[in-house]
Structure formats: structure tokens, C-alpha cells
Amino acid sequence: MKKRYALSWSGGKDCTMALHLLKAQGIDIVCLVTTAPIETGKTFGHDEKMDLIEAQSKSLGIPVHFIRCRYDHYTDDFILDLKKLKEEFSLDGIAYGDIYLDSHFEWGERTAAAAGIDALFPLKGRQSESAAMLERFIKTGYKALIIRVRRGVMDKAFLGRKLDESFARDVMETDCCPMGENGEFHTFVYDGPLFHTPIEVKSGGVIESAASFRLDISLSMPVH
């Protein structure tokens, strides 16, 4: 019998590549899990509109569950919903798209254990392997946009660029992790092998904050 897993889902390249690898291993991903703080009504990971995640869910054919967490009770709210999802979907575990940060592995293992399920990290590797991971993502055929860059770390000019060979060359000329593991940049995946239909998005401009520059993308057509 196939193992049944949830997948922590931000909408970006890491969770997409994790999904691709898990599917190839015969693991059944029965739901996507996205945190959306009550305070913002947008996703926690990338500060995106929730309908963008819903569009990915529909195209992938995997239901998404939004955890409406609170900033000051984030972990507790996550665990509480994870326990409910364990019962609803008969989960064996939850997978995360983290690559090499120990603090992320520790948090994922702790939250999964608290919910009584296993934690899985299909992308886990060494920091030195990041460039090869980016190359693998590109060659696998997924398409993604840079939607957020950290101020003072990655140039604003990277916003809106596609994750392609040109980007891979240019990011290697910076001090950033090629996979953005330290939050240097974030992406939105809009097409690829597991997507039944591409997701059409449009840009509404750049939103600046003290910490980042963010491309304000939205769906060209609403999700039905």
C-alpha cells in the first residue's frame, strides 16, 4: 500500500521539486498544506494571494488545506490542523521542501512528531549541492517566476525573471544560495510536468517593504 503524505506547500520551486520526487518514489501526496496567517489573509511563506495557491492545487489535481494560523501561535496552530488532517486523510506523514538548514529540519520533525506522523525531506542535501539542484529543477521542465527578493541581498532587477539557464548563470555571480534557501528569493511555479494546465498570471507592479521587494502577481483568470 502506498504511503499517504501531506506536502507543505508555498507555491515555489522547492515544494514543487519535492512533489516531483515523491511522486517518482510512489508516495501518494493526498493534500497540500499552506499556512495563511489570519492577520494578513495571504500565504505565510511568500505573502501571496490564496487564489494563486488554489490555482496550483486545481492544476495539480491535489486538494489544498489552508492553515489559518496566528503569528504568535504559529507552531501550535500548525500542529492542531495537522492532527485534523491526519484523521481526515489517513496520513502517514508530511513532507517538507527544505534543503540544508538544520533549524528547518528540526521544526519539521517536531511538528510532525507532535501530530503523530512522520516527517520527510526529499530534497535534503548539502549546501554545496544547491547549484545542481537548481539545474535539476530547470531541466525537469518546470517553469517559475521570481516573485520576491530580499532587500540588500538580491538585486531588485531579478524580480519577474524566469528560473531558466540564464538565471542560473547570473545567480552564480552573486553571493546568494542558488536555491534561495536562506530566503534570498522566492518563486511561483506556474507550469511543468505535473501541472495539467499552465497558470496564467499578470503583474500589478512591485510592492516594497523594509525587508523585500515583491512582485504583485494575480491570476489572469479566476479559479472556478
- On whether both 108 and 204 belong to a single domain, the answer is no
- On whether both 157 and 64 belong to a single domain, the answer is no
- On whether both 101 and 166 belong to a single domain, the answer is no
Which amino acid, residue 67?
Answer: I
Residue 113 counted as domain residue? yes
Note the pLDDT of residue 184. Answer: 93
Whole domain around residue 191: which residue ranges?
A: 132-219
Note the pLDDT of residue 104. Answer: 92
Note the pLDDT of residue 36. Answer: 87
In this structure, the number of other CB atoms found within 10 A of the CB of residue 151 comes to: 12
Over the chain (224 residues), the average pLDDT of each successive run of 10 is 92 96 95 88 78 96 93 92 97 95 94 98 92 94 95 92 95 93 94 97 89 91 66
- On whether both 107 and 84 belong to a single domain, the answer is yes
Note the pLDDT of residue 70. Answer: 85
- On whether both 24 and 109 belong to a single domain, the answer is yes
CATH code, domain with 23: 3.40.50.620
- On whether both 140 and 206 belong to a single domain, the answer is yes
In total, how many domains does the chain have?
2
User: Do residues 65 and 41 lie in contact, with contact meaning Cβ atoms separated by under 8 Å?
Assistant: no
- On whether both 13 and 94 belong to a single domain, the answer is yes
- On whether both 141 and 192 belong to a single domain, the answer is yes
- On whether both 113 and 159 belong to a single domain, the answer is no
* 43, 78, 134 from 181: Cα distances, Å: 18, 21, 11
- On whether both 179 and 200 belong to a single domain, the answer is yes
Note the pLDDT of residue 2. Answer: 84
Dist. CA 81–CA 72, nearest whole Å: 16
Dist. CA 113–CA 107, nearest whole Å: 10
Note the pLDDT of residue 204. Answer: 84
E-strand stretches of the chain: 4-8, 28-35, 64-67, 93-95, 118-120, 143-150, 185-191, 201-208, 212-219
